[in-house]
Amino acid sequence: MVALSYVDKLKWSPQEGRRLEELRGKIPMRALAEKINATGVSCSYQYIHKLEEGKAESVSTDLLLAICGALDIDFNQLFPGIYLDISQIITKD
């Protein structure tokens, strides 16, 4: 497993966009952008819209962590497939 601190960006897709929209719930995009900006990470509500539409190719881990903090969610809720449990891959003979 690679520590997230060693990863600059993660690939983004419409699937992650839909998940972000679901996790945001009824929080307005502008309010989410303001919460993110308050952490020192720059983000506009237009960029959140772009993310939710799946139109970004990749997203910085700093922004993703700020989004998770602003939504009060764990990172693996936004990216459930990012963690790999190798014990499920290795078969024991």
Distance of CA 4 to the CA centre of its chain: 12
Give the pTM. 0.82
State residue 59 phi and psi, 5-degree precision.
-135, 140
Q: What is the pLDDT along the chain (93 residues), one digit of tens a residue?
A: 667 677 789 899 999 999 999 999 999 999 999 999 999 999 999 999 999 999 999 999 999 999 999 999 988 899 887 654 444 444 444
CA angle 70, 73, 74 (to 5 degrees): 125
Segments making up each domain of the chain, as ranges? 8-88
Residue pair 20/64 in contact by the 8 Å Cβ criterion: no
pLDDT at 93: 47
Q: Is the dihedral of CA 8, 10, 11, 12 positive or negative?
A: negative
**Helix, strand, coil share (%) of the chain residues, nearest 5:** 55, 5, 35
**For the domain with range 8-88, which CATH number is right: 3.40.47.10, 1.10.260.40, 2.40.50.100, 1.10.8.60?**
1.10.260.40
Q: Which residues pair with 60 in a beta bridge?
A: 9
